[in-house]
Structure 1
Amino acid sequence: METNKRPMLYTSLLLSVLFLSFTASVLCQEVDDEREFDYIRGSEMGPERWGEIRPEWATCSTGEMQSPIDLLDARVKVTPRSAEINRLYRPTRAMLRNRGHDIELEWEDDSSRIQINGTEYILRQSHWHSPSEHTINGKRYDMELHMVHQSRDNQTAVIGLLYKIGKPNHFLSKLMNNIRLISETTLELDVGIINPSRIKMGGRKYYRYLGSLTTPPCTEGVIWTLNTQIGTVSEEQVSLLREAVHDHAEENARPLQRTNGRNMRLYAHMIKNRQE
């Protein structure tokens, strides 16, 4: 009897470990099914209710390190130098997807990555919010791009870039026709080889703080890096992104969250491209 129980015990333990690993991985990801939540203030599925919709989304209501936040100079500690964010991005095949609550560009392999404090984070996807989710000294911008990276142990690091109305955004211009093709659909398109390094990150200063995903399940522990240099985007480009998604997500910015005394730093050394 004892010899029969041990294999069953080991199998049970293995399944438990695999289940927990899978669950941790799932909870780190943003929800793709936009039908389960929306951005309409006061609605049953609106931002104020996200934490009540599903048990695993409770952090959206109870979390103490939620994003986005206002990056107020009076609360930010200026740090003259820091270790660079080493960025190694390579041209990679990508899929463009209409998730209903945003337009997402997903890279298909692990060849593009960044390094923060000795940890490598693989570039998984980018998506757009309009208006911006983060604000600087109370000012909200016209668009915000999130470049979402994930480490081998499912930790998340996001680079955020802010934009104001002005000249067309060069990177977004390359995707305009494809975005029109998936407008108001649930389609996804293979858009071929896309070089993420074409997403320009100018300037030499950036904000850093510890926050969360800005959509359910609002997982915390996300390392946020926001470039202080404001890029430009045309009114046509912003309008297209808004029209492409469903009506309830034309303005897909989560309301500002409480800072709860978190450390926010302004670093004076920007992202560094790395060659291999």
Structure 2
Amino acid sequence: MPSVIQHVLSVSKMHQWNSTSPDGNATDSGLGDIERVLVPILDVLILVLGVSGHSMVVSSVTGTGTDILLLALSAADLLLLSTLPFHTSAIALQHWPFGDVMCRLVGFLGSACSSASVFTLAALAVSRYLTVVKPAKAYFLLSPKRVSLIACLLWIPACGLATPQLVFRSVGTPRSTPAALICFSFLSHRGQMIYGLVHFVVAFLLPLFTIAVAYVGIYMFLWVSRHQARAPQVERYQSRVTQTSAMLVLRGKIR
């Protein structure tokens, strides 16, 4: 699934139209004619692949705890993909033609969906850790109702991180190209830097740390179990656990 590509492109497109000078005026994006043609073609390809792939995930879920998180992840990515045509049009036209309200809404939706998607990936890693390392606790904690509640609650910090996009984002006229309207985020370079740093820590570093700890815990558990196992029944059980974990990790990497 092209989730990572979608996030990278969404962040890139945000900042192409978020560039601000120290005095608060937007700077020229500097896109050439090649980019104006190539970027829309690539965006259409990503849109088609993303929508078709995530639609297959949505149609194949069975209602278990992990599948609910996968469904939430696909829903966040599909919403993120819905913002792609707006950014593509702005790049192709070299100005923002959709007005101030859509500038705010598209910025808010893109930021909230990308954050919610990353938070859901971290929740998936934790659920896989519990399933492999503490299956009894996982059976109690990862009920469909609890997992659904967690998937919904993850949108609270995601929307909180996206709120500045809704409040401060606006359409302006840069000095370099006074005839164009550019959708940019903040009125000062300092505000842009602070927001970018907070977003990077909360929506990237912390989820990445959580994912790393969860999978390291899985690998350590399997390594210790393999060296402590003696009885043939235990050996067979550990082999099944290893295969299950490998399939889970592979599934996560394919996404």
Normalised by the length of structure 1, the TM-score is 0.22
Higher share in strand:
1
From the two aligned structures, give the one with the greater helix fraction. 2
